[in-house]
Amino acid sequence: MFIHALADRVRRSGGSPLLTCYDAADDSRIELSATTFANWVDKTANLIVDLGHEDGEPIDIALATTHPGHWVTYVWIAAAWQRGCPVMDGTGDTSLLVVGPHDTGRAPTTVMCSLHPLGRALAEAPAGVVDYVEVFGQPDLHDEAIGLGEAMWSDRPIGRVTPSDERLLIADPAPGWQTAATALVAPVLGGGSTVLASGYDAGALDLISVSERARVL
C-alpha cells in the first residue's frame, strides 16, 4: 500500500531525493527528499481533517489535471490517500476541491494553492476559498490509523504499479493517472526518484538530465 511504502522509504533513505521540480516560467528548482515530502503529506492530511472533510470521501484534486508538473499536486495526492480518500482529477463532484491560483472551479470547500515554488501564500485569496498556506500551521504528525485501505484513483483501486529504482526526467508531464503512477507511486515503491521539468526546450532538458543524472523518459 502506498502510504506504508512511503513510510518505509523514509525509514530506509529519508534524506535522498524523491521529487525534484523545475519550472522555466519562474526559473525555479525545488527538491524534496522523501522525509520532506512525507512531512508535507502529513501536514496536508491534518489540514484535510481541520477542513471537516471525512476520511474516505473523495477529493477532487484538479491540480492533477491543470498542474501535473508541480510538487504540491503530488503532496495532495498522497495526503488524500493517507486519509483513505479517492483522488478525483478535476472531474469529481466532491465537497473538497483543490485548485491552482487561476482556476475558477469551486466546491463547498475549495483550497487554492499559490503554486509558489516554496509554497507561499496567495497574493490575494479570492472570497470563499482556503489558502493552502494554512498548511504551515499544521503538525507534521502521521496518523497511523489512516491510509490502511487501497489507494483509489477516481472510482477504482490504483492496482499494481511497477516499482522503479531509476532517477527519471519527465518533461512537460501529462495530466492524469499515468503521470502520477510514474512520477510518484513507482519511485516510492522502488526507491527511485523523479525530476519533473516544465517549459524547457530540448537543449535545456539535456542539461537538466546531465546535471541531475536522470534518464529522460
The pTM score is 0.96
What's the chain's average pLDDT?
A: 94
**What confidence score (pLDDT) does residue 57 get?**
94
**What confidence score (pLDDT) does residue 148 get?**
56
Question: Tell me: the pLDDT tens digits for 83-111?
Answer: 999 999 887 789 999 999 999 999 999 99
Rounded to an integer, what is the distance from CA 124 to the centroid of its chain?
23
135 φ, ψ to 5°?
Answer: -60, -25
C-alpha cell at 181: 503512477
**What confidence score (pLDDT) does residue 145 get?**
61
17-175-217 Cα angle (round to 5)? 50
